[in-house]
Amino acid sequence: GDFPIETDTIVIGAGPGGYVAAIRAAQLGQKVTLVEKGNVGGVCLNVGCIPSKAMISSAHRYQEAQNSEDMGVITEGVKLDFSKVQEFKESVVNKLVGGVDMLLKGNKVDVVKGEAYFAEGNKLKVMDDKQSQTYEFKNAIIATGSRPIEIPGFKFGGRILDSTGALALEEAPKKLIVIGGGYIGTELGSAYANFGTEVTILEGTPDILGGFEKQMTQLVKKNLKSKNATIVTKAMAKSAEETENGVKVTYEAKDETHEIEADYVLVTVGRRPNTDELGLEELGIKMSDRGLIEVDKQSRSSISNIYAIGDIVDGLPLAHKASYEGKVAAEAIAGEKSEVDYIAMPAVCFTEPELATVGYNESQAKDKNIEVVTGKFPFQANGRALGLNKTDGFVKVVARKEDGLVIGAQVAGNGASDIISELGLAVETGMTLEDIALTIHAHPTLGEIPMEAAEVALGRPIHSM
């Protein structure tokens, strides 16, 4: 028996869900303890969003350095120093992790290193190097995130990589097999294709990047193929066998068994919530079959002073969703009326071109029996996109027919990850097509494309027929 340390709000896990919740709770006057067994920043900052985007941008530079003759730039002997790619990636991660550490200190959040699990009676035990310390809390926020799913026949280790392994390679492989064409597999596959790796993506369903419209995923597939990548859909990966200097993967497609060899195989078939080692069963918290914690609109679990946010609750496993829920949970604990509403939550895929969506697409609107008008405008007809020599893609806005209320948008193209923000704002604040069309957008910018798409939906485009 150690003496319990009392705290108002204890947060478990310092990913984009947990650290944001901790800071908001502290801002609202709570005494906050944040428990983390690894680094602050969680998956997102250390082995997810941030390092993957740094690596993706190195890969783009490498690709562009070799392919800018059209624009009058002739390069010779472009080389890749992969150790520098890793160094750059690490430096970005370290800056951000250091920044989060400082923010937590500045907000007087007590950061505790160790692994946490629940004991009876509003108590949490934290184990660190065989020492255990008990905390007694008024409220707890669980934000323990997720880990990669392992499939039978593909035990992680050696030449079988999870996303963390794929981000930590010392060299760009000559050949890489990616199992699972979701956004993580496709992003990392695209990055390596840009580094010159011969990439094969094996996807079980009929298309990669499920959740994005066909018109969008087609552009990504075209781009990947132009970089020597192979995409096999409706493919079932069966087994992997390490060979002398690589790995052989057996898969089935079109009722036939195939074998391919590569230096590495990356398995990205989804993620599993970290809810199995927290003592939650003993507490009797309600969970789904998949181990997701059931919560209400304030992120509150079936136990009223325990909240859950991020990858361990239902919905898309994305960093901005975790942070958003974290703020709501902290505000709910402080007695505010905050509630989650995901209608304006964007989802982005950092492939080439980038894909982004927010709110409803046309078919989702149809499913909800909403009559819509849409307006689509191509990057090809935008001056800035032409000048950048990046003309693949389009912006599509979806609006309610009766009053032009913007209820969604899809963007495929260079900069889609940023362009989607304006459209998210439109959905969140209840703007109409007129509002977007009437807003003066600087010329020449990619930002004009949503404005043009709104004009198309209104039936009066200037720059298309």
Q: Residue numbers of the site for ligand FAD (CB under 6 A)?
A: 12-18, 35-38, 42-44, 48-49, 52, 115-116, 143-146, 163, 184, 274, 278, 310-311, 317-320, 322, 350
How near is the Cβ of 323 to ligand FAD at its closest, in Å?
8
Residue number with CB closer to ligand FAD (2 or 241): 2
Residue number with CB closer to ligand FAD (273 or 447): 273
Contacts 24+ apart (CB under 8 A), 363-370: 363/213, 364/408, 365/398, 365/407, 365/408, 370/400, 370/407
Residue number with CB closer to ligand FAD (217 or 323): 323
Residue number with CB closer to ligand FAD (327 or 400): 327
**Single-letter residue type at 43:** V
Q: Are strands 123-128 and 160-161 parallel, antiparallel or unpaired?
A: unpaired
Secondary structure of 151-169 in the HEC alphabet? CCCCCCECCEECHHHHHCC
Give the integer Cα–Cα distance in Å for 161 and 296: 36
How near is the Cβ of 28 to ligand FAD at its closest, in Å?
19
How near is the Cβ of 411 to ligand FAD at its closest, in Å?
15
Give the integer Cα–Cα distance in Å for 139 and 309: 14
How near is the Cβ of 176 to ligand FAD at its closest, in Å?
15
How near is the Cβ of 293 to ligand FAD at its closest, in Å?
11
Residue number with CB closer to ligand FAD (94 or 391): 94
What is the per-residue DSSP string for 78-124? ----HHHHHHHHHHHHHHHHHHHHHHHHHTT-EEEESEEEEETTTEE
Residues with catalytic annotation?
Answer: 443
What CA–CA distances, in Å, run from 110 to 97, 107, 187, 276? Answer: 16, 9, 36, 25
How near is the Cβ of 292 to ligand FAD at its closest, in Å?
11
**What is residue 213's three-state secondary structure?**
coil
- The answer to whether 390 and 414 have CB atoms below 8 angstroms apart is yes
Residue number with CB closer to ligand FAD (138 or 320): 320
**Partners of residue 200 on adjacent β-strands:** 177, 230
- The answer to whether 242 and 137 have CB atoms below 8 angstroms apart is no
Closest listed residue to residue 10, CA positions, set 103, 111, 106: 111
Residue number with CB closer to ligand FAD (86 or 382): 86
Residues 6+ apart with CB under 8 A from 312: 142, 143, 144, 145, 146, 273, 274, 275, 291, 292, 293
How near is the Cβ of 177 to ligand FAD at its closest, in Å?
17
Let me know the angle formed at the C-alpha of 197 by 250 and 156, rounded to the nearest 5 degrees. 45
**Single-letter residue type at 338:** S
